[in-house]
Amino acid sequence: MSIRVRCHCGKLQGELDTSAVAARAKCYCKDCRAFARFLGNEVEILDGAGGTEVAAALPSGLRFTQGLDQLACMSLSPKGLYRWYAACCRTPIGNTPRDPKVSYVGIVRACLDATPAELDAQLGASHINANTESAYRKISKTPGGTALALVKIGSKLLGARFGGGYRNDPFFESGSATPVRQPEVISKEARARLY
């Protein structure tokens, strides 16, 4: 099964294989909020407590089918995550480590073209809460769910690393650590404004 990936204006499209998804999470970290502010779309991306919903997945499960020229990348610091979005309408797509051998992408809910019920049916209804100490209000921790999710994510990462699946990553040039788009690393001053 797959879920359609689509930016808001429809120029960038693709699909996510649901078997590549290890867990669903809401991340309340300041970096995810800064990314939403960078895109100028906090209301649609963040929930009321400042969380971003993501699907933790293997990049090999994501395939872009049109509009790849619209894919853009930024980073909040010279060593920070790569944060991918559609340049055409500034829809967030996902977050990846800088090293493609760490085969992970957090696909942002805002680009998943599915209803909440469809997501629950295909990916499971439960999710973990991460970085709750940075939330705007008290958010319950999910220690059991987090531990299980880490095991699932870890096993997928190890499988991709040792099985070679990490080489099939739409965010990096084939067989290299070179991102398909030159990341915009924002200045310290710009980062301070976003925080």
What is residue 126's predicted lDDT score, i.e. its pLDDT? 76
Q: Does 120 have pLDDT greater than 80?
A: yes
- Percentage, residues of the chain above pLDDT 70: 100
pLDDT-derived band of residue 169, with 50, 70 and 90 as boundaries?
Answer: very high
Q: Mean pLDDT in the chain?
A: 94
Give me the pLDDT at residue 125, please: 81
Q: Name which of 27, 86, 19, 31 is nearest 57 in CA terms.
A: 19
Q: Check: CB of residue 132 under 8 Å from CB of residue 140.
A: yes
Predicted local confidence at residue 182, as pLDDT: 96
pLDDT of res. 72: 98
Which pair of structure tokens corresponds to residue 35?
């990314």
* Cα–Cα distance measured from residue 152 to residue 134, given in angstroms and rounded to the nearest whole number: 25
More confident residue, 159 or 110: 110
Please compute the mean of the pLDDT values over residues 89-104 and round it to a whole number: 96
- In which order are the strands placed within the sheet that holds 2-6? 2-6, 13-17, 62-66
User: pLDDT tens digit string along 38-88?
Assistant: 999 999 999 999 999 999 999 999 999 999 999 999 999 999 999 999 999
